């Protein structure tokens, strides 16, 4: 039996019901042990998403029948992998299939932040637009500028490919330099001190975890050019919210476009009053095609494990 914690796209739910006996929780609130543990009789697989935290105590409490936890995500920070391995539970996730959709959101946020699109729409909807004026709502060009990508993995490289269509120069900062065929002419920086001052736009595409926790802090923000624009579609945990809010308030960072946040969905309230912050509710992979592909890949992972002899 497959336990599904939350509503999935209709095509994914239909396939899950065809291939498995399902138990569906339809959760709208955080997953808790009390909610989960009394629903696991006869269950051998769980299909979850990043809102569902499987820490070591919860994994230790799972019945021995559970053979696999599949998550509708690339990231695995919400699952204690060490505890899962210790209890013989295999983990499956959904890499690769959300690359282009997330890169599209990053590019959209760059354009929206640079051209003050969110601010303009709010003004228009409020009935406050007074008509064209030469000095009205001046933004910044994107074409021809320098884009810095922190985390040149699949999504970072897809964003770089899209940005080259805008004649942007690509810089990137990784733990390791890419081979030339993946670098595709992008300029590698081994350290922040050369990377950050060289760019007009910063896109955070790095994975989560301790290595990137609070990476964009006050010290690194100060190294950006005055008027730089910051976009984050990677992990909210990579940003020191207080520092970024202060930089947006001062104007040192001209604008930010954010799709991910610390403590989602309870983002820092300081962002909400900033006209120069474009805020999206974590929809980087939210297309019909991508969410279906993620769901199907997660089901493939479940089936792979359950069909092992």
- Per residue of the chain (309 residues), give pLDDT as tens: 999 999 999 999 999 999 999 999 999 999 999 999 999 999 999 999 999 999 999 999 999 999 999 999 998 999 999 999 999 999 999 999 999 999 999 999 999 999 999 999 999 999 999 999 999 999 999 999 999 999 999 999 999 999 999 999 999 999 999 999 999 999 999 999 999 999 999 999 998 888 899 999 999 999 999 999 999 999 999 999 999 999 999 999 999 999 999 999 999 999 999 999 999 999 999 999 999 999 999 999 999 999 985
**Nearest residue to 147 via CA among 109, 94, 97:** 109
Domains of the chain in start order, with CATH, are 2-97+288-306 (3.40.50.720), 99-279 (3.40.50.720)
Tokens of 106: 């990053």
Q: What pTM value is reported for the model?
A: 0.92
223 phi, psi to nearest 5 deg: -80, -15
| Residues with active-site annotation | 235, 264, 282
């Amino acid at each position: 039996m497959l336990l599904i914690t939350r509503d999935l796209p209709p095509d994914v739910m239909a396939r899950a019901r065809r291939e498995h006996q399902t138990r569906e929780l339809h959760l709208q609130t955080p997953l808790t042990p009390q909610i989960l543990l009394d629903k696991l009789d006869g269950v051998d697989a769980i299909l979850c998403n990043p809102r569902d935290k499987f820490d070591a105590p919860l994994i230790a409490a799972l019945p021995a029948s559970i053979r696999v936890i599949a998550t509708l995500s690339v990231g695995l920070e919400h699952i204690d992998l060490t505890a899962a391995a210790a209890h013989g539970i295999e983990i499956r996730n959904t890499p690769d299939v959300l690359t282009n959709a997330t890169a599209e959101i990053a590019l959209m946020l760059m354009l929206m932040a640079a051209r003050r699109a969110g601010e303009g729409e709010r003004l228009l909807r409020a009935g406050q637009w007074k008509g064209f004026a030469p000095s009205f709502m001046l933004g910044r060009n994107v074409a021809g500028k320098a884009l810095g990508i922190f985390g040149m993995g699949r999504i970072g490289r897809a964003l770089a490919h899209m940005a080259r269509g805008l004649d942007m120069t690509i810089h990137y900062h990784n733990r390791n330099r890419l081979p030339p065929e993946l670098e595709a002419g992008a300029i590698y920086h081994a350290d922040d001190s050369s990377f950050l001052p060289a760019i007009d736009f910063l896109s955070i595409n790095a994975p989560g975890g301790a290595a990137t926790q609070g990476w964009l802090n006050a010290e690194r923000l100060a190294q950006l050019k005055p008027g730089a624009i910051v976009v984050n579609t990677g992990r909210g945990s990579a940003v020191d919210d207080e520092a970024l809010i202060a930089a947006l308030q001062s104007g040192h960072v001209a604008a930010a476009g954010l799709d991910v946040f610390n403590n989602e969905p309870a983002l820092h309230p300081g962002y909400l009053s900033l006209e120069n912050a474009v805020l999206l509710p974590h929809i980087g992979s939210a297309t019909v095609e991508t969410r279906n592909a993620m769901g199907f890949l997660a089901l493939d992972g479940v089936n792979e494990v359950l069909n092992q002899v």
